[in-house]
């Protein structure tokens, strides 16, 4: 059974166990996700994220009971045109797509054509939230404008950004990420993040030498942005490597709804949970 976690972190971490660097097998990921969903920290955990390619290959068949109400987040790795095909596999399995996330362009490409097609798809999905993964390069602000316009028309679309990966250029600087957070704030646009956010505080990975953003930094920065902070002030919170100012930034707000930032995918649930306990943002009186 789940105990009541602070509203501020509810649904913060989507279960990306099958994606690198965790790369769990699908059977293992499904079993582990069931355990997360009935654990004391269940309110922290979003849906299990699965690639469309695994769904269309039939890999989920036989792993779930149609009566259990299993929910996933579908990651569109097979292209926009193949998404309806992937979604068609779910109803016979008794599986629900709680969200759909799709890259609309590669770095340096114009995101508008892909975004236009994704919005058309979102209009046909009966209210399922759709997240457009937009590279933090050419055409970014125009894409955010287009998403905001679509949301104003009632289309359930929002943004997704990559905050890490296997190359240094995939890690946005604090200034770049702050500009994106504030741009979403100015447009009333929710966003998700992915990659590199396993730990709460900004740090250097000793194996790669890459500097990772901390999800605690992002939480503090997003709260500040929602309160009207400048890009510079938001960027300053993203650079912090001391947990104390991050804890102070969220102090007194545990029962407030998290503004703007929908959450992030992590191949580990235990790592971010452990950091939340260590920072005192989640009651650690239970064992994970």
> What pLDDT, in 10s, does the model give residues 10-52?
999 999 999 998 999 999 999 999 999 999 999 999 999 999 9
The answer, yes or no, to whether residue 233 has pLDDT greater than 50, is: yes
- CA dist., res. 172 & res. 168, Å (int): 9
Q: What is the pLDDT of residue 174?
A: 98
Q: Higher model confidence: residue 274 or residue 3?
A: 274
The answer, yes or no, to whether residue 2 has pLDDT greater than 70, is: no
> Residue 232 — very low, low, confident or very high, per pLDDT cuts 50/70/90?
very high
- CA dist., res. 5 & res. 38, Å (int): 13
Q: What is the pLDDT of residue 254?
A: 85
Q: Model's pTM, two decimal places? A: 0.94
The answer, yes or no, to whether residue 235 has pLDDT greater than 90, is: yes
Q: Are 54 and 27 in contact (CB under 8 A)?
A: no
Q: What is the pLDDT of residue 251?
A: 87
Spatial CA neighbour of 257 closest among 216, 214, 217, 226:
226
- CA dist., res. 270 & res. 52, Å (int): 25
Q: What crossing angle do the helices spanning 112-122 and 140-152 adopt, rounded to 10°?
A: 20
Q: What is the pLDDT of residue 252?
A: 86
The tokens 């890490």 sit on which residue?
A: 164
Q: What is the pLDDT of residues 67-101, one digit of tens each?
A: 999 999 999 999 999 999 999 999 999 999 999 99
- CA dist., res. 119 & res. 110, Å (int): 15
The answer, yes or no, to whether residue 1 has pLDDT greater than 50, is: no
The answer, yes or no, to whether residue 280 has pLDDT greater than 60, is: yes
Q: What is the pLDDT of residues 136-183, one digit of tens each?
A: 998 999 999 999 999 999 999 999 999 998 888 899 999 999 999 999
The answer, yes or no, to whether residue 3 has pLDDT greater than 70, is: no
Percent of the chain with pLDDT over 70: 97
Q: What is the pLDDT of residue 288?
A: 42
Range 121-128 average pLDDT: 93
Q: What is the pLDDT of residue 285?
A: 56
Whether the ω angle into residue 182 lies within 30 degrees of 0, i.e. cis, is: no
Q: What is the pLDDT of residue 86?
A: 96
The answer, yes or no, to whether residue 4 has pLDDT greater than 80, is: no
Mean per-residue pLDDT over the chain, rounded: 94
């Amino acid at each position: 059974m789940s105990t009541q976690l602070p509203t501020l972190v509810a649904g913060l971490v989507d279960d990306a166990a099958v994606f690198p660097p965790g790369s769990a097998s699908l059977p293992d990921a499904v079993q582990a996700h069931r355990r997360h969903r009935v654990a004391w920290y269940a309110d922290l955990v979003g849906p299990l994220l699965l690639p469309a390619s695994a769904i269309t290959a039939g890999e989920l068949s036989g792993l779930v009971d149609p009566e259990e109400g299993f929910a996933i987040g579908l990651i569109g790795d097979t292209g926009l045109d193949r998404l309806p095909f992937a979604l068609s596999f779910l109803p016979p399995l008794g599986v629900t797509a709680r969200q759909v996330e799709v890259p609309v362009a590669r770095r340096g490409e114009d995101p508008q054509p892909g975004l236009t097609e994704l919005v058309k798809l979102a209009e046909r999905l009966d209210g399922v939230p759709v997240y457009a993964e937009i590279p933090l390069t050419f055409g970014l602000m125009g894409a955010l404008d287009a998403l905001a316009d679509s949301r104003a028309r009632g289309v359930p679309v929002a943004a997704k950004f990559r905050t890490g990966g296997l190359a240094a250029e995939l890690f946005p600087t604090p200034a770049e990420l702050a500009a994106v957070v504030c741009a979403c704030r100015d447009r009333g646009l929710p966003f998700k993040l992915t990659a590199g956010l396993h730990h709460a505080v900004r740090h250097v990975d000793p194996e790669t030498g890459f500097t990772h953003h901390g999800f605690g930094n992002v939480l503090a920065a997003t709260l500040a942005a929602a309160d009207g902070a400048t890009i510079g002030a938001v960027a300053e919170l993203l650079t912090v490597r001391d947990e104390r100012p991050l804890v102070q930034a969220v102090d007194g707000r545990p029962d407030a709804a998290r503004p703007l930032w929908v959450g992030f995918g992590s191949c580990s649930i235990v790592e971010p949970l452990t950091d939340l306990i260590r920072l005192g943002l989640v009651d650690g009186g239970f064992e994970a």
